[in-house]
A and B are shown apart, each in its own frame.
Chain A
Amino acid sequence: KQEVTQIPAALSVPEGENLVLNCSFTDSAIYNLQWFRQDPGKGLTSLLLIQSSQREQTSGRLNASLDKSSGRSTLYIAASQPGDSATYLCAATGYSTLTFGKGTMLLVSP
């Protein structure tokens, strides 16, 4: 059974810092890995999707990498802003389901 772990569980940084969120998964037989953002009480917004054959994806200030062999993915956020404050979830797509990590709660202070 796939298990997804995210480190750290919470992170507090001042505005402007670059930061890295970590995600690890136990079963490398994934179709893709997806990073989501969730604001309190809201739904999930997809940030980046990395196919199993890809190494990284970029969108604006966000960059996600994937190393299937080691079972790891990272989400890099450049020049963080208070509006980036949210919970970030990574999820691994298996044969028929999506397995989530417990998330990293990010707070960016002005």
Chain B
Amino acid sequence: DTEVTQTPKHLVMGMTNKKSLKCEQHMGHRAMYWYKQKAKKPPELMFVYSYEKLSINESVPSRFSPECPNSSLLNLHLHALQPEDSALYLCASSHPPWGLANYGYTFGSGTRLTVV
């Protein structure tokens, strides 16, 4: 299995809702990432998990809460979002880049989030 699977593909939520994005990989990668991408912009890093521990938080607002329950799963919990949070949310995985084995990043197809 060489894929990163993200669910749902599309999500519309109100500003008072609580929702979660899910990401799953079975490639044995021990680093997982959340990126946010606005239209016509490159992806922006939000969070990095390494060996199931949060290693990087790029000053993301607390209304985004990541969770890594095990080495294959990564969740992003959403609460009280703003319309400007509407974007494509991408999950990625890799062997830790600083390790001996580095075969690049694998990205999922993303969740298109619309906040109304």
A and B co-occur in one complex: yes
- Most chain-B CB neighbours within 10 Å: which of A32, A42, A44, A100? A44
> CB-defined interface of A28-49 with B at 8 Å, one 1/0 digit per residue?
0001101010000111111001
State in angstroms the CA–CA spacing of A49 and B101 once bound together: 13
Complex interface: stretch among A66-74, A76-84, A86-94: A86-94
Number of interface residues of A (CB under 8 A): 24
> CB-defined interface of B1-38 with A at 8 Å, one 1/0 digit per residue?
00000100000000000000000000000000100000
Instruction: Give the size category of B's interface with A.
Output: 20 to 34
Q: Which residues of B contact A102 (CB under 8 A)?
A: 41-42
Is A43 a contact partner of B109 (Cβ separation < 8 A)?
yes
Contacts A96-B97, A100-B43 hold; do A51 and B102 have CB atoms under 8 A apart?
Answer: yes
Within 8 Å of chain A (Cβ to Cβ): is B74?
no
Q: List 15 A-B residue pairs with CB atoms under 8 Å apart, sorted by A's residue number.
A: A31-B97, A41-B112, A43-B107, A43-B108, A44-B43, A46-B106, A93-B105, A96-B56, A96-B97, A97-B48, A98-B45, A98-B97, A100-B42, A102-B42, A103-B42
Given contacts A32-B102, A93-B97, A96-B56, 13 further A-B contacts (CB under 8 A): A31-B98, A31-B102, A32-B104, A34-B105, A41-B88, A43-B90, A43-B108, A43-B109, A46-B104, A46-B107, A91-B105, A97-B56, A98-B92
